[in-house]
Amino acid sequence: MPPTWLTVLAWISLATASVCAGLIVADIFVRGYRQHVWIMDVVWPLTALYSGPLGLLAYRRWGRLHSPRYRDETGDRRHSPFSVSVGISDTHCGAGCALGDVIGEWVLFALGATIAGAALWPEYMADFALAFIFGIAFQYFAIMQTRHLRRRDGVVAALKSDTVSVITFEIGLFGWMALMFFVFFTDPRLTPAHAAYWFLMQIGMILGFLTSYPANSWLIRHGIKEGM
């Protein structure tokens, strides 16, 4: 079992992140501040689930700015600076990876899947596969709404835009997961049944966001990916 202090901290972090995500959902779907690109209605709450108050602050500061209703009410037509545009573009990848990781972790835990007696290796494989699928899908929907491409061209564009993003996100997350498995909690192992596991995964996803940020900046500067 993880130490009591870590479990308490984990529950506080998870509860806070859930509230932040709920506030964003309410603002978008109840108050009506829908995003100009509809997939961001999904991306912003998922971002808050791992980044907590940071995600809520980013949404309040820059996310709502892209709501047509907000722009009509305030007349505010500002565009985000490049650094913010890169960060918002990075949230596509982050949200897809986070969703894939959560689904993959729970499914593998329920199945009791291991390779060579370790749960980490199937987690890597399932997490990457699902993160790639969701990350590319999120980027595909954004591209299709903004660029109006044919489906095949949209898929190709999404693969070009987000493949490197997903890989660099998972590098940060997987490195942290290796520390969790081989350094922090060797005996007993943490599992998805522990709140501390998901708190540490929140940290890993934030690290993944940071390791994928430079890749997104490079992709946007070279015209491979569009900034948000």
Round the average pLDDT of the chain to a whole number and report it. 86
pLDDT confidence tier of residue 186, bands split at 50, 70 and 90: low
Query: pTM for the full model?
Result: 0.88
Structure tokens at 165: 């993003």
- Name the percent of the chain lying above pLDDT 70: 95
pLDDT, tens digit, 9 for 90 and up, residues 111-140? 887 887 778 888 889 989 998 888 888 888
pLDDT confidence tier of residue 58, bands split at 50, 70 and 90: very high
Distances (CA, A) of 9 to 74, 77, 193: 39, 40, 16
